Amino acid sequence: MKFRTLVFDFDGTIADTLGETRKIFNELAPGYGIRQVAEHEVEKLRHLSLKQLLDHLDIPKRRVPSLIARGTSILRGSITRLDLIQGMSEVLTELRVHVESFGILTSNTPENVDLFLRGHGLREIFDFISSTSKLTGKSKHLKAIRKTFSLRAEEMLYVGDELRDVKASQKAGIPIAAVTWGFNSRESLAAEKPDFVFNHPKDFMSLLNPHKTAKNPE
């Protein structure tokens, strides 16, 4: 393993929160004067960037922080009942053996992440949980994490399921592995040229053998 530190996004990457997030969004939408998201729309939304998503749903950017705060607060009531992405428990446990530090960087709250990980018996393998309430604030946090652990950029890998995760990592100059089982589609993620594209949790095992790593196809 060439990476000393692995940092993971939470929603959609480790926790299967998409369905519950849509449910909560639809509960809040009328109060914000924005429209709800029908289940049949989700696949179309998976191809959109953050800006395109906000425009498509007519969500003013100024309302986003409040939506996130209220949404994550409501999510706390159901977080322990949500599923782990199938196959991630075994993969996370195996990967932890091969790196010096393990963490999470999320737009969710540390409290929600902590409750979820404890409920699935995984809290002890993570050294830290870092959170940003800004949807586009991850780049700064990634740089801070790198400095905290005295890492060269190439010694740290961020793992996420959204286009904004890819863009944040690239802005921070840190390698990014995009997973295709979360919010954004494989096609949209691959178009941003992440360092790695993983279609199944077992693909992480290729990181242990650099000669077989699933790099992003051209």
Could you tell me if 82 and 17 are in contact, meaning their C-beta atoms sit under 8 angstroms apart?
yes
Question: What is the DSSP-derived secondary structure letter of residue 13?
Answer: T
**pLDDT digit string, tens, across residues 147-169:** 999 999 999 999 999 999 999 99
pLDDT tens, position by position, 194-206: 999 999 999 999 9
Provide the pLDDT for residue 217: 47
Q: What is the end-to-end Cα distance of the chain in Å, rounded? A: 24
Which has the closest alpha carbon to 100: 122, 131, 126? Answer: 126
Distance CA(208)–CA(98), nearest Å, equals 8
Which of the four pLDDT bands, split at 50, 70 and 90, describes residue 3? Answer: very high
**Mean of all residue pLDDT scores within the chain:** 93
**Fold for domain 5-16+83-212?**
Rossmann fold (3.40.50)
Contacts of 112 (CB under 8 A, 6+ apart): 72, 75, 76, 79
The tokens describing 147, both together, are 């400095």
Based on the number of CB atoms within 10 Å of its own CB, is 218 exposed (0-12), middle (13-18) or buried (19 or more)?
A: exposed
Q: What are the structural domain ranges in the chain? A: 5-16+83-212, 18-80
Tell me which residue of 43, 49, 47, 1 sits closest to 22, measured CA to CA.
43
Residue type at position 79: I
pLDDT digits (tens, 9 = 90+) for 6-17: 999 999 999 999
Q: What pLDDT shows up at residue 218? A: 45
Task: Please report which helix (H) or strand (E) contains residue 45, including its range.
Answer: helix 42-45
